[in-house]
Amino acid sequence: MKLKEIASLVNGEILGDESIEITGASGFYDAKDGDITFIASNKFIREISKCKASSLIVKDFLDNIKIPQIKVQNPYIAFIKLLNHFYVKPREPKGLSKDSYIPEETKIGNDVSIYPFVYISENVTIGDNTIIYPFTFIGENTIIGKNCLIYPNVVIREDIKIGDRVIIHSGTVIGSDGFGYIFDNEKHQKIPQVGGVIIEDDVEIGANVTIDRATTGNTIISKGTKIDNLVQIAHNVKIGKNTIIVAQVGIAGSSEIGDNVTLAGQVGISDHSKIESETIIGAQSGTMGYVKKGIYTGTPAIPHKDWLKSQAIFTKLPEIYKKIKEFERKITELERRILK
């Protein structure tokens, strides 16, 4: 593919030889002859001599560089387009495998692919162009939308509603029982978990995620939210639109997370918490109660600027402790002299 064609694809402007052949797209350090890559930050500009790519995607043209460049408004977006162009191929419908269990009354849309060893329970609906890979279980009364991609070994239990263009990675369980018990008569009595889960459009769920069904009502993951691997979302949690949840986050029951929230890795959210939209919680932080819009870090989480100041003090504690002990020694010595 000529560089001129690539510029047209990403709506960019060329500086340099537009006739060179581009055969792939790759990261800055992995790129080789024939590849196109992109400049994500000034760090890469400083290391341009290490780059072996045949062309660069840039925000602004770089001076004194011989490699042909394409200037675009957003290099990240342009690079995503090229990755899709070079490597993401349309999936051909495979039909319904005879080695899967599919009840006759299952409502299946057009061009659906169901691979071997999928088990589908009664009264299930599956939308057009959805792909379900092997060893997946789908419980009764579940609805799966159009253009969904469900990877192997996923469990989608009963009474689950999944929207369009949802991606669910391997090992994930949607609709497992919420963790609800009442201690009575010297034992833990299980609270029946009779609600469901709603996954709205354009959600992506990573590998080995658990999303518990509601006690009553629904656990809700709203449109456009992206969930990383190994996340636990408890019963009756409501997560807003376009929220990012990074690996190993745990969200306890009945919590509400707003729109466009970012929960970094290993964040813990206590039960019945409410986090306002556009809030960022830093890695390994713990929150409880009502959290106003802002950036927070630490356990318990405090405003990030305050946390930075606290960390600066914390690193000095050994020195401060040493000084305190020295003061104590001197005070003791003074008291001894006075008593004499």
pLDDT at site 268: 98
Name the pLDDT band for 43 (thresholds 50, 70, 90). Answer: confident
- CA end-to-end span of the chain, whole Å? 95
Do the bridges between strand 262-263 and strand 244-245 make them parallel or antiparallel, or are there none, so unpaired? Answer: parallel
Between 39-53, 208-222, 282-296, the lowest mean confidence (pLDDT) is in 39-53
Tell me what the mean pLDDT of segment 282-287 comes to: 97
Alpha-carbon span 253 to 213, nearest angstrom: 10
Alpha-carbon span 213 to 234, nearest angstrom: 8
CB atoms within 10 A of CB 263: 28
Is the peptide bond between 68 and the residue preceding it cis, with omega within 30 degrees of 0?
no
Name the pLDDT band for 41 (thresholds 50, 70, 90). Answer: confident
pLDDT at site 281: 98
Tell me what the mean pLDDT of segment 133-149 comes to: 98
Domain boundaries, the chain: 3-87, 107-304, 311-340
**Active-site residue flag, 235:** yes
Name the pLDDT band for 194 (thresholds 50, 70, 90). Answer: very high
CB atoms within 10 A of CB 285: 23
Tell me what the mean pLDDT of segment 305-327 comes to: 92
Q: pTM, whole model, 2 decimals? A: 0.90
State percent of the chain over pLDDT 90.
90
pLDDT at site 40: 83
Between 36-45, 142-151, 271-280, the lowest mean confidence (pLDDT) is in 36-45
HEC secondary structure over the chain: CEHHHHHHHHCCEEECCCCCECCEECCCCCCCCCEEEECCCHHHHHCHHHCCCCEEEECCCCCCCCCCEEECCCHHHHHHHHHHHHHCCCCCCCCECCCCECCCCCEECCCCEECCCCEECCCCEECCCCEECCCCEECCCCEECCCCEECCCCEECCCEEECCCCEECCCCEEEECCCCEEEECCEEEECCCCCEEEECCCCEECCCCEEECCCCCEEEECCCCEECCCCEECCCCEECCCCEECCCCEECCCCEECCCCEECCCCEECCCCEECCCCEECCCCEECCEECCCEEECCCCEEHHHHHHHHHHHCCHHHHHHHHHHHHHHHHHHHHHHHC
Between 216-225, 272-281, 310-319, the lowest mean confidence (pLDDT) is in 310-319
Do the bridges between strand 181-184 and strand 187-190 make them parallel or antiparallel, or are there none, so unpaired? Answer: antiparallel
pLDDT surpassing 80 at residue 340: no
pLDDT at site 217: 97
Q: Dihedral (C-alpha) 40, 46, 47, 53: value to the nearest 10 degrees?
A: 60
What's at 188, amino acid-wise?
Answer: H
pLDDT at site 339: 80
pLDDT surpassing 80 at residue 144: yes
State percent of the chain over pLDDT 70.
100
How many angstroms separate the Cα of 52 from the Cα of each of 58, 74, 143, 234?
A: 16, 22, 48, 47
Do the bridges between strand 69-71 and strand 13-15 make them parallel or antiparallel, or are there none, so unpaired? Answer: antiparallel
Name the pLDDT band for 79 (thresholds 50, 70, 90). Answer: very high
Share the mean pLDDT of the chain. Answer: 96
CB atoms within 10 A of CB 50: 10
Record the tokens describing residue 84, joined without a space: 């899709």
CA angle at 17 for the pair 14 and 19, rounded to the nearest 5°: 100
Record the tokens describing residue 3, joined without a space: 């560089």
Return the CATH architecture of domain 3-87.
Answer: 3-Layer(aba) Sandwich (3.40)
Alpha-carbon span 36 to 24, nearest angstrom: 6
Q: What is the Rg, in whole angstroms, of the alpha carbon atoms belonging to the chain? A: 27
Return the CATH architecture of domain 107-304.
Answer: 3 Solenoid (2.160)
Alpha-carbon span 25 to 17, nearest angstrom: 18
Catalytic residue among 85, 169, 188, 235: 235
